[in-house]
């Protein structure tokens, strides 16, 4: 009896759990067999790993329609619905995973600094450990190819473009006033302290349709999503004090920092080339609050900065020096949200508001100006697959600028403008294979002040020739509202947008710790603003007939591998550019352009001394200047510029760092250009004055202390 | 009557076979892993995970197998793929269980592999994160020997750069070894690794 039961049960189980066998071959896109792929029926134990010939063979107790999963490291996981009763000797083709490390990346124009990027040329730490940068993001970027080092200005000049042709974005939202206030021939620096940012993307051309209102370049700074821990940072420096604190909670975190800079004690000790009445002083603070939702992150960033100085500048047009007294206050805030929803949708949105007020006394005359700028942004991105992504979005920029110029005992001149720009864009990312990727899109915008609509196409593609090496190509049209110096006279003249087209060919080689990058470009400028007076003023006659070009080659080599403990990079840029703009009588190379720029940056870690020592050498060939005593326009050329900087960071303990840096060790007498008198003297000769750095050398000594529970952390990254 | 018996028997047999399937599958996967067939072991754990959606162990082992494989791999590209695979598997379970100390230890292990992969870039970023993970794990299971050992080991490895005193850390390893002796795994397949590594680490202490 018992045996009958057993027999019946056995019979039943085999009938109910009747088995279907499945078989086939797994191949890659070229038809080569794939060994070791995991093939199975979803939700069951039934499956196997493919053999050396890519073959598989297994049985399943399931029946009917089931999901077959095939997964293998370097390929996209494949899920297909199959009928298990009829799945024999099938060939399954796997597609390469385009997100894998060795897949092609569209890189034309872009220099990345960050940990997420696969094609980083800079590491996050570099911003602050580069000799000569002194914690200034902008100064560190000036060691990259494609930039001009313009010592008397301090801002970013990219590939023959003026400084205002670079637009800065924090978490995707525009920063209308990215630099501290300054006056003629006094260099400024970036407003942002580097340690709140985890990624920097600096594009020297051909950038995405997501970014507009920039003729030459975009600088994209991303704040950290998550700070590492609770801590307090204290900095004591020869130029001021700084304090910072980070608090971290379960889902949110807050970082604040405040800095007070006063150059008076420093300038009392170190001889200055300029005559200060009251040296530069500033009080600034930043804060970032982050809140993590399950599927997104909300960030709130705010920065406040108030600075002033009072200086006597030599002036050829009068006997006495000109006294410039500047007071600037700047407030910037930015809220952004980034999150995922639905079926592979990503939403990025945000708004920013910036307010900048300047009070400038020039001898007895007064200039007061106020700028209010806002940016609203919405972007949606849909990933149809790893291979096809579509993004589209809209931007709204509103800017209001007012300026009053009060002449002593004279009239008050007011100027200003109100501008509203609405733009939409769309862009598609397509991976045809692991070797070929294309990004194409366009941007359409409407500017109510200029009464114009523009349409700007952008396209870039990348092709991987062999492992570690790839080519990229990019083309794009870019437009930008003219500089505030002109547009504030909009009441008197109807301006048009300035335009540029970029053509870029890029080659990149990347191998563990080594990067080589070469980029050739051609830039075509049109519609540039021209005027007919010595300086731009309300009654100048303006037109948009200016034009120009820039072409050149940028080279970059970085190696952190060949010599132990040594990390170095070399940037070289060659540029040939001419413009007919402003009040130029003919096409000429502007005075901020040096044809050859070379930077060599080295960092060496000495364990025995617990020290990092770095040298940065910058060299630029001579820059043109216009000598009114000569017939030919812009015929002069300064001598070449060179600056060797040194820094030394010494770890007293893991949480206390002593830092020392000095610029221009060799004491090279650099000349940036010449200021010529507006009118000739009695003999008919125009006198001139050299434009030089404010001091021959800059010394900096600082003590940095981090207080946190985790004794490992220090401010090395803040230096 | 016969029908009822058959039905019951069928029910039991199918139940037993499902139960047996898990045990058999896990056993086989561990066997493959022991033989050094890491990829196949990972594949099998992955298949078990697909069937046992309410059990965190199979995905935990997918993460563990791939991470330990990554430690023994030189090819950077391969390391990246292995760690990505480990991370994806762990993410599935992390989303379901926020109170599992073993998962936090696993996450810290993946992070450590990334630090070894590129210390310059990842060290600064992930070291504090690991300390945070160990703190979380400690809060949940202060007597888990893997938590105590992994935390101490991580700090000892970092001591080369930070210069902190390793003596108290070595004492922690000794404590962990004591805990291994009394630790009772929840089930036959629950994590119980670590004793040999701890003993090895203690030798380096002296």
Rounded to an integer, the average pLDDT of A465-475 is: 91
Give me the sign of the Cα torsion angle A384, A389, A394, A399.
Answer: positive
User: Cβ of A5 and B128 within 8 Å?
Assistant: no
Residue B135: closest C-alpha in chain A: A710
Q: Per mean pLDDT, which range of A13-17, A118-122, B29-33 is the poorest?
A: A13-17
> Which of A45, A74, A125 is opposite residue B51, by nearest beta carbon?
A45
Rounded to an integer, the average pLDDT of A179-208 is: 82
Residue B38: closest C-alpha in chain A: A36
Q: Per mean pLDDT, which range of A230-244, A341-355, A488-502 is the poorest?
A: A230-244
How far is the alpha carbon of A4 from chain B, nearest alpha carbon, in Å?
11
pLDDT above 70: residue A718: no
Please enumerate, as own/partner, the contacts of A316-320 that have beta carbons within 8 Å and a separation of 24 or more: A316/A675, A316/A676, A316/A677, A316/A678, A316/A687, A316/A688, A316/A689, A317/A677, A317/A678, A317/A679
pLDDT above 90: residue A649: no
- What digits encode the pLDDT tens for the residues A113-159? 665 555 667 766 676 677 777 777 888 888 899 998 888 888 999 99
DSSP assigned state of A715:
G
What SS3 state is found at B168?
Answer: helix
> What dihedral do alpha carbons B114, B115, B119, B121 form, nearest 10°?
60
Residue numbers in B near A228 (CB within 8 A):
125, 128-129, 132
* The predicted structure's pLDDT at residue B9: 58
* The predicted structure's pLDDT at residue A306: 93
User: Cβ of B77 and A654 within 8 Å?
Assistant: no
Q: Per mean pLDDT, which range of A64-68, A171-175, A679-683 is the poorest?
A: A679-683
- What digits encode the pLDDT tens for the residues A497-522? 999 999 999 999 988 778 899 999 99
How would you classify the pairing of strands A322-341 and A275-292?
unpaired
* The predicted structure's pLDDT at residue A70: 93
What SS3 state is found at B10?
Answer: helix
* The predicted structure's pLDDT at residue A128: 67
Q: Report d(CA A90, CA A86) in Å as an integer.
A: 10
pLDDT above 80: residue A41: yes
A719 band by pLDDT with thresholds 50, 70 and 90: very low
Q: Which residue has the higher pLDDT, A563 or A478?
A: A478
Q: Report d(CA B154, CA B176) in Å as an integer.
A: 14
Tell whether A81 is within 8 A of chain B (Cβ).
no
Q: Where in chain A is the domain with CATH 2.60.40.1120?
A: 17-93
Share of chain A above pLDDT 70, in %: 93
Rounded to an integer, the average pLDDT of A343-354 is: 94
Rounded to an integer, the average pLDDT of A270-276 is: 82
* The predicted structure's pLDDT at residue A489: 93
What's the whole-number average pLDDT of chain A? 88
Interface test with B, best of A22, A34, A45 (most B CBs within 10 A): A45
Rounded to an integer, the average pLDDT of A252-271 is: 87
A48 band by pLDDT with thresholds 50, 70 and 90: very high
**Comparing C-alpha atoms, which of B86, B106, B100, B97 is closest to residue B46?**
B86
Q: Per mean pLDDT, which range of A95-109, A303-317, B63-77 is the poorest?
A: A95-109
A15 band by pLDDT with thresholds 50, 70 and 90: very low
Interface test with A, best of B23, B44, B47, B154 (most A CBs within 10 A): B47
Share of chain A above pLDDT 90, in %: 53
Rounded to an integer, the average pLDDT of A71-86 is: 89
pLDDT above 70: residue B11: no
- What digits encode the pLDDT tens for the residues A520-535? 999 999 999 999 998 8
What's the whole-number average pLDDT of chain B? 87
Q: Per mean pLDDT, which range of A403-412, B89-98, B120-129 is the poorest?
A: B120-129
Share of chain B above pLDDT 70, in %: 88
At which residue do the structure tokens 């750069």 appear? B161
How far is the alpha carbon of B182 from chain A, nearest alpha carbon, in Å?
30
Residue numbers in A near B21 (CB within 8 A):
45
pLDDT above 70: residue A90: yes
At which residue do the structure tokens 């630090």 appear? B115
Rounded to an integer, the average pLDDT of A542-547 is: 95
Q: Which CATH architecture has domain A17-93?
A: Sandwich (2.60)
Mutual orientation of helices B145-162 and B167-182 as an angle, nearest 10°? 160
Residue A136 and residue A155 in contact, taking contact as beta carbons nearer than 8 Å: no
At which residue do the structure tokens 């001139």 appear? A688
Q: Report d(CA A333, CA A325) in Å as an integer.
A: 27
Residue A74: closest C-alpha in chain B: B81
A19 band by pLDDT with thresholds 50, 70 and 90: confident
Q: Superfamily assignment of A110-708 in CATH?
A: TonB-dependent receptor, beta-barrel domain (2.40.170.20)
User: Cβ of A560 and B125 within 8 Å?
Assistant: no
Half-sphere exposure of A625 (CA within 13 A, CB side): 19
pLDDT above 90: residue A697: no
Residue A261 and residue A240 in contact, taking contact as beta carbons nearer than 8 Å: yes
- What digits encode the pLDDT tens for the residues A588-645? 999 999 999 999 999 898 888 888 899 999 999 999 999 999 999 999 999 999 999 9
* The predicted structure's pLDDT at residue A717: 45
What SS3 state is found at B39?
Answer: helix
- How many Cβ pairs within 8 Å bridge chains A and B? 99
* The predicted structure's pLDDT at residue A122: 74
* The predicted structure's pLDDT at residue B49: 94
Q: Where in chain A is the domain with CATH 2.40.170.20?
A: 110-708
pLDDT above 70: residue B12: no
Centroid of chain to Cα B31: 17
* The predicted structure's pLDDT at residue A105: 77
User: Cβ of B46 and A101 within 8 Å?
Assistant: no
Interface test with A, best of B4, B7, B19, B43 (most A CBs within 10 A): B43
């Amino acid at each position: 009896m018992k045996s009958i039961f057993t027999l019946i049960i056995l019979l039943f189980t085999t009938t109910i759990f009747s088995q279907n066998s499945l078989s086939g071959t797994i191949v890659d896109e070229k038809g080569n067999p794939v060994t070791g792929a995991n093939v199975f029926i979803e939700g069951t134990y039934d499956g196997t790993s493919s053999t050396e010939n890519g073959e598989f063979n297994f049985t399943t107790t399931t029946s009917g329609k089931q999901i077959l999963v095939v997964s293998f490291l370097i390929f996209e996981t494949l899920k297909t619905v199959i009928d298990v009763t009829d799945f024999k000797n099938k060939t399954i083709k796997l597609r390469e995973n385009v997100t894998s490390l060795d897949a092609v990346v569209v890189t034309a124009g872009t220099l990345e600094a960050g940990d997420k990027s696969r094609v980083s040329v800079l590491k996050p730490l570099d911003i602050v450990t580069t000799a000569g940068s002194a914690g200034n993001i902008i100064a560190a970027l000036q060691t990259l190819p494609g930039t001009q080092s313009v010592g008397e200005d301090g801002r970013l000049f990219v590939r023959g473009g003026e400084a205002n042709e670079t637009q800065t974005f924090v978490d995707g939202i525009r920063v209308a006033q990215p630099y501290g206030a300054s006056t003629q021939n006094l260099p400024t620096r970036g407003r942002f302290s580097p340690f709140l940012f985890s990624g920097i993307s600096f594009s020297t051309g051909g950038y995405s349709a997501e970014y507009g209102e920039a003729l030459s370049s975009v600088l994209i700074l991303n704040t950290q999503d998550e700070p590492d821990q609770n801590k307090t940072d204290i900095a004591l420096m020869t130029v001021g004090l700084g304090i910072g604190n980070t608090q971290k909670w379960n889902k949110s975190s807050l970082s604040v920092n405040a800095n007070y800079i006063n150059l008076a004690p420093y300038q009392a000790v170190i001889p200055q080339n300029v005559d200060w009445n009251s040296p530069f002083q500033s009080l600034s603070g930043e804060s970032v609050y982050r809140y993590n939702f399950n599927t997104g992150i909300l960030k709130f960033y705010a920065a406040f900065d108030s600075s002033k100085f009072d200086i006597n500048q030599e002036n050829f047009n009068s006997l006495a020096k000109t006294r410039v007294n500047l007071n600037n206050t700047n407030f910037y805030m930015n809220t952004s949200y980034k999150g995922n929803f639905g079926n592979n949708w990503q939403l990025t949105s945000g708004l920013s508001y910036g307010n900048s007020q300047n009070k400038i006394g020039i001898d007895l005359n007064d200039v007061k100006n106020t700028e209010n700028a806002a940016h609203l942004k919405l972007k949606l991105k849909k990933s149809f697959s790893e291979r096809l992504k579509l993004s589209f979005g809209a931007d709204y920029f509103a800017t209001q600028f007012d300026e009053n110029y009060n002449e002593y005992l004279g009239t008050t001149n007011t100027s200003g403008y109100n501008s509203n720009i609405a733009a939409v864009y769309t862009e598609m990312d397509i991976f045809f294979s692991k070797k070929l990727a294309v990004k194409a899109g366009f941007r359409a915008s409407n500017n109510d002040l200029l009464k114009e609509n523009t349409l700007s196409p952008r396209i870039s593609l990348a092709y991987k020739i062999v492992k570690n090496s790839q080519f990229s190509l990019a083309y794009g049209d870019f437009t930008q509202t003219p500089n505030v110096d002109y547009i504030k006279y909009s009441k008197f003249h109807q301006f048009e947008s300035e335009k540029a087209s970029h053509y870029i060919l890029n080659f990149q080689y990347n191998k563990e710790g080594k990067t080589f990058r070469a980029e050739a470009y051609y830039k075509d400028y049109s519609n540039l603003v021209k005027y007919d007076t010595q300086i731009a003023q309300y009654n100048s006659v303006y037109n948009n007939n200016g034009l120009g070009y820039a072409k050149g080659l940028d080279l970059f080599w970085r190696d952190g591998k060949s010599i132990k403990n040594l990390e170095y990079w070399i940037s070289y840029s060659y540029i040939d550019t001419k413009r007919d703009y402003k009040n130029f009588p003919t096409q000429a190379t502007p005075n901020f352009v040096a044809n050859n720029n070379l930077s060599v940056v080295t960092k060496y870690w000495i364990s025995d001394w617990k020290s990092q020592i770095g040298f940065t050498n910058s060299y630029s060939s001579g820059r043109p200047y216009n000598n009114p005593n000569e017939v030919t326009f812009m015929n002069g050329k300064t001598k070449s510029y060179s600056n060797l900087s040194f820094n030394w960071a010494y770890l007293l303990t893991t949480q206390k760092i002593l830092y020392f840096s000095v610029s221009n060790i060799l004491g090279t007498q650099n000349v940036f250009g010449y200021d010529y008198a507006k009118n000739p003297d009695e003999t008919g000769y125009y006198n001139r004055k050299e434009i030089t750095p404010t001091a021959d050398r800059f010394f900096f000594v600082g003590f940095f202390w981090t207080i946190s529970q985790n004794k490992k952390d220090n401010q090395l990254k803040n230096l | 009557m016969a029908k009822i018996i058959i039905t019951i028997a069928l029910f039991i047999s199918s139940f037993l076979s499902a139960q047996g399937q898990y045990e058999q599958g896990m056993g086989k996967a561990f066997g493959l892993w022991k033989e050094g067939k890491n990829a196949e072991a990972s594949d099998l754990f992955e298949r078990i995970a697909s069937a046992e959606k309410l059990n965190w162990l199979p995905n935990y082992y997918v993460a563990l197998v791939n991470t330990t494989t990554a430690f023994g791999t030189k090819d950077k590209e391969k390391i990246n793929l292995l760690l990505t695979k480990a991370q994806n598997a762990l993410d599935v379970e992390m989303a379901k269980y926020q109170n599992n100390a073993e998962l936090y230890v696993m996450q810290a292990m993946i992070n450590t592999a990334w630090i070894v992969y590129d210390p310059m870039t990842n060290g600064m970023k992930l070291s504090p994160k690991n300390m945070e993970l160990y703190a979380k794990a400690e809060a949940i299971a202060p007597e888990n020997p893997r938590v105590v050992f992994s935390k101490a080991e991580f700090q000892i490895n970092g001591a080369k750069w930070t210069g902190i005193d390793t003596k108290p850390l070595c004492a922690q390893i000794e404590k962990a070894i004591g805990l291994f002796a009394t630790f009772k795994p929840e089930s036959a397949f629950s994590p119980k690794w670590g004793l040999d590594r701890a003993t090895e680490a203690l030798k380096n202490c002296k």
